[in-house]
Amino acid sequence: MVGEIVYRAEGGIAQIKIDRPDKKNALTASMYAALTDAIRAAEAEPAVRVIVILGSEGAFTAGNDLQEFLQDPPTGLDRPVYRFMAALAGAEKVVVAGVSGLAVGIGTTLLLHCDLVVAGDTARFSLPFVTLGLVPEFASSLLLPQLIGRQLTGKHLLLAEPFDAGKALAYGVVSEVVAAAQVEAVTMEWAARIAAKAPRAVIETKRLLKPEPLQIARRIAAEAATFSAQLESKEGKEALGAFVEKRAPQFGA
């Protein structure tokens, strides 16, 4: 794994930690590749029964590393971010996430593919795709309306309105809210409880609870195609440029 993705497996639990605190755990292509490798390693190890995903030092992840994103935008399902999406969405083993601080963009959308999510009381969730001239990803345009309905989804995808841990709990995006300092401890305790249960029963229960995999894969692919088109569009370039330059975008007629 790269230095910013820390992987360890013991006691039936594979812990994957995003550890780039100086950049609020913003994700690069190499980090996505390491996350994918970590998930695949956990899936392939018979002794591992639960996968845990954590951030570090007060941030889950601020989303994509914007500098790299602008220099080498992710177009095509063969790119590291989409391989990570496929690995997480297709994971057979239970995935438990612990969220502290910021969860921006993919930091929120990946939670829709986790089986349990523990959030700190200071966690803040944001889906700023439209603000950046982009569209939703990771099947969030399918899964979020299923959770909270189309109207509330519109607040967070069309208005790009952030939401706090309390709303995330009410929406069903997270399973429980705890004190920020307790996120990792509670997440690991939940994982240990699951790891102690009948492994095949756990896997089969997850399979029965999950949305239709083919539907998820199709939506990810459809979103990716539109996402790539927006990246190349005039309005997409203007929105991203305005965000970087900290000015109001000018879209014209």
Q: How high is the pLDDT of residue 252?
A: 81
- The number of distinct structural domains making up the chain is 1
Tens-digit pLDDT profile for residues 222-233:
999 999 999 999
Could you tell me if residue 253 is inside a domain? Answer: no
Could you tell me if residue 201 is inside a domain? Answer: no
239-247 — which CB contacts under 8 Å span 24+ positions? 239/131, 239/132, 239/133, 239/134, 240/70, 240/132, 240/133, 243/131, 243/132, 244/66, 244/70
Q: How high is the pLDDT of residue 253?
A: 62
Could you tell me if residue 186 is inside a domain? Answer: no
Could you tell me if residue 184 is inside a domain? Answer: no
Could you tell me if residue 209 is inside a domain? Answer: no
Structural domain boundaries enclosing 167? 5-179
Could you tell me if residue 249 is inside a domain? Answer: no
CATH number of the domain that 61 lies in?
Answer: 3.90.226.10
Could you tell me if residue 10 is inside a domain? Answer: yes
Q: Give the residues of the chain that fall short of pLDDT 70.
A: 1-2, 253
